[in-house]
Amino acid sequence: MKKFILTLAMLVMPLAAAFAQDVIGKWKLEDGTAIVEVYKQGDVYNGKIVWLQNPNEPDGSPAVDKNNPDKALRSRKLIGLNMLSNLKKNVGEYNGGSIYDPGNGKTYNCSMKVEGDVLHVRGSLDKKGLLGRTMDWFRVTE
């Protein structure tokens, strides 16, 4: 009986670890241009830019959100900017939120899924995720 319980525990532990994968942490975008820190706030998950490959404008000042459609927000700094908002955990996936692309100033519907040290981030025009693209972000270990 002890052998059976031990064997069962050895089989279940890796499965539990696989399901326990957490989105919280730092993730490097697939093109290497930024690192986003995903954090939980209440019952939702958000993500802010914490590192940029090019953190400054050509004049040496901090990079700003110059493509934002709201002129009043174009002077806000990119480092510290929330680009992931209001995602909720839903059976192995995070969805129902949005992702902001400071490169073009547009906001998209967003869903994410963690697989090991890869975060699959899907931005889409529609809530079902049919019209969009998926990017892979990679976990940053410090």
Q: What is the pLDDT of residues 91-122, one digit of tens each?
A: 889 999 999 999 999 999 999 999 999 999 99
Q: Where are the alpha helices (DSSP H) in 43-142?
A: none
Q: What is the DSSP string of 55-71?
A: -B-TTSSBPB-TT-SSG
Is residue 122 within 8 A of residue 111, CB to CB? The reply is yes
Which pLDDT score is estimated for 10? 46
Q: Residue 9: pLDDT above 80?
A: no
Domains within the chain, CATH numbers bracketed: 23-139 (2.40.128.520)
What is the amino acid identity at position 18?
A
Which pLDDT score is estimated for 130? 77
Q: Residue 36: pLDDT above 80?
A: yes
Phi, psi of 9 (to 5 degrees): -60, -40
Contacts of 9 (CB under 8 A, 6+ apart): none
pTM: 0.82
